[in-house]
């Protein structure tokens, strides 16, 4: 029989084993401490770069592997299986930091920024969300005006919930900003690259988050931030459309992160059910526990199949509408499955599941944001309905 449409290739499975070995040796032993101390492990980011994880989809001329999107999803899933914080660090670093530069950057921009980003020596952020513009990202209030001589952009505004935006190795954040008004009266939104350390660009103190404690996340403020005019990314007035396309890809990657979370819940619950003794034997012999673990297997399989179907469509160059629909379906199912899976796994552990010494407690806290970032579940349902031809507002 030939390979089924969404079965990973032998190369992908070999790559999975490589990333899993790295994650279990370099990340898993320290994840609980990083979470407890809210520590962002820059040294591990560098080692992820040494392994080539940040360069998976980047061109070879900049040190990348010129690989497919499926490989990136495999890496994110395996990192997320042991630590969701490191999984989102890779997802945002590549999907939101590197890929927009690859897709829309000029040759000069790519030569300046990509080598360090691809090598894991630096990180880039993606600034879309604002205090008054979350799911309604078109209501961006951040503004960028050209100087009188046309040589600089002057940026004022704020962004929030921005990953990889304030670490010691953050090199730039690309932000959406109003750069004028369209003929129909709507705002013209463009993407501007702001190097870290530029006067007026401030990464405010890191958030005290429910989960993802080892991930770098900050609110940002811009007060008369001046950058050269050539820091425009892509076409003027197309910044919002560019970021929406970036989010379509990001939803597939978040689905991979959620799949890793579901798989971790299955792994931990299955092991615990076989070890924990109660009522004269392991608790896994009781249907009340066994059936819950069976549900986790279904969630893991369904999440993985939906995720890699979407990735396969992207890699095959399928029409944008088909990729968008598949990405939203995968993101909606897998992230809601992850939240349910952490609840089930915690229940299997009983009272111990409520204790931070067990990883299911950390997974429980980490999972909720998966239903929010890269477009909420409500946004995904809206997009799916529109893809079906329904005139949803």
Q: Name the residue with tokens 């952009």.
A: 153
Residues in Cβ contact with 224 at an 8 Å cutoff, skipping those fewer than 6 apart: 154, 155, 156, 200
The CA distance from 279 to 231, in Å, is 66
pLDDT category of residue 4 using cuts at 50, 70 and 90: very low
Is 374 a catalytic site residue?
yes
Backbone angles phi, psi at 357, to 5 degrees: -70, -15
How far apart CA 119 and CA 107 sit, in angstroms, is 18
Average pLDDT score over the chain: 95
If one counts every other C-beta atom within 10 angstroms of the C-beta of residue 238, the result is 17
Task: Count CB atoms within 10 A of the CB of residue 328.
Answer: 26
In this structure, are residues 157 and 141 in contact, taking their beta carbons and an 8 Å threshold? yes
- pLDDT for 29 equals 97
127 phi and psi angles, rounded to 5 deg: -100, 100
pLDDT digits (tens, 9 = 90+) for 9-27: 999 999 999 999 999 999 9
Token couple for 146: 């050209």
**Which one, of 187, 177, 174, 192, lies nearest residue 143 by Cα?**
177
Tokens of 244: 């929406």
Give φ, ψ of 197 to 5 degrees: 90, -5
Which of helix, strand or coil describes residue 157? strand
- Give the Cα separation of 57 and 276 in Å (integer): 43
0.85 exceeded by pTM: yes
Structural domains in the chain, CATH included, are 10-121 (1.10.540.10), 125-236 (2.40.110.10), 240-387 (1.20.140.10)
User: Tell me, what's the pLDDT at 1?
Assistant: 37
Lowest mean pLDDT: which of 134-143, 164-173, 333-342?
134-143
The whole-number average pLDDT for the span 1-14 is: 73
Q: Which of 77, 356, 374, 393 is catalytic?
A: 374
Residue 5's pLDDT band (cuts 50, 70, 90): low
Whole-number pLDDT of residue 272: 95
Is the distance from CB of 42 to CB of 168 less than 8 angstroms?
yes
**CB half-sphere exposure, 74, CA atoms < 13 A:** 25
Which tokens go with 5?
Answer: 């449409």
pLDDT digits (tens, 9 = 90+) for 287-326: 999 999 999 999 999 999 999 999 999 999 999 999 999 9
Is the Cβ–Cβ distance between 306 and 255 less than 8 Å? yes
Q: Quote the pLDDT of residue 382.
A: 96
Angle, helices 320-349/377-387, rounded to nearest 10 degrees: 140
| Model pLDDT for residues 217-266, shown as the tens digit of each residue | 999 999 999 999 999 999 999 998 998 889 889 999 999 999 999 999 99
Q: Which two tokens stand for residue 105?
A: 């950057």
């Amino acid at each position: 029989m030939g390979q089924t449409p969404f079965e990973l290739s032998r190369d992908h499975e070999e790559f999975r084993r490589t990333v899993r070995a790295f994650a279990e040796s370099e990340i898993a032993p320290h994840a609980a401490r990083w979470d407890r101390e809210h520590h962002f492990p820059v040294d591990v980011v560098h080692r992820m770069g040494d392994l080539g994880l940040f360069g998976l989809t980047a061109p070879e001329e900049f040190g990348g592997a010129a690989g497919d999107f499926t490989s990136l999803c495999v890496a994110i899933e395996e990192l997320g299986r042991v630590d969701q914080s490191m999984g989102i660090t890779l997802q945002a670093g590549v999907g939101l930091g590197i890929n927009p530069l690859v897709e829309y950057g000029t040759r000069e921009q790519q030569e300046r920024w990509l080598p360090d980003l691809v090598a894991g020596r630096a990180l880039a952020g993606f600034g879309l969300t604002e205090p008054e513009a979350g799911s309604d990202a078109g209501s961006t209030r951040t503004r960028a005006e050209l100087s009188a001589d046309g040589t600089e952009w002057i940026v004022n505004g704020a962004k929030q919930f921005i990953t990889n935006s304030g670490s010691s190795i953050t090199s730039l954040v690309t932000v959406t900003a109003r750069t004028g008004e369209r003929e129909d009266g709507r705002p013209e939104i463009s993407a501007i690259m702001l190097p870290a350390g530029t006067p007026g660009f401030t990464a405010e103190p890191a958030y005290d988050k429910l989960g993802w404690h080892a991930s770098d996340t900050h609110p940002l403020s811009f007060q008369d931030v001046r950058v050269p005019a050539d820091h425009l990314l892509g076409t003027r007035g197309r910044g919002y459309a560019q970021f929406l396309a970036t989010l379509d890809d990001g939803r597939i990657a978040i689905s991979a992160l959620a799949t890793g979370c579901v798989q971790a819940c299955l792994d931990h619950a299955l092991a615990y059910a076989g070890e924990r003794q109660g009522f004269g034997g392991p608790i896994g012999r009781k249907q009340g526990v066994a059936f819950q673990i069976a549900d986790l297997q279904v969630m893991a399989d369904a999440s993985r199949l939906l995720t890699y179907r979407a990735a396969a469509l992207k890699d095959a160059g399928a029409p944008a509408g088909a990729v968008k629909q598949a990405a939203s379906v995968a993101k909606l199912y897998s992230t809601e499955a992850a939240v349910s899976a952490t609840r089930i796994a915690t229940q299997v552990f009983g009272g111990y599941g409520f204790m931070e010494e067990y990883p299911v407690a950390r997974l429980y806290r980490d999972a909720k944001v998966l239903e929010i970032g890269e477009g909420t579940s409500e946004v995904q349902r809206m997009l799916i309905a529109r893809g079906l031809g329904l005139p949803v507002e």
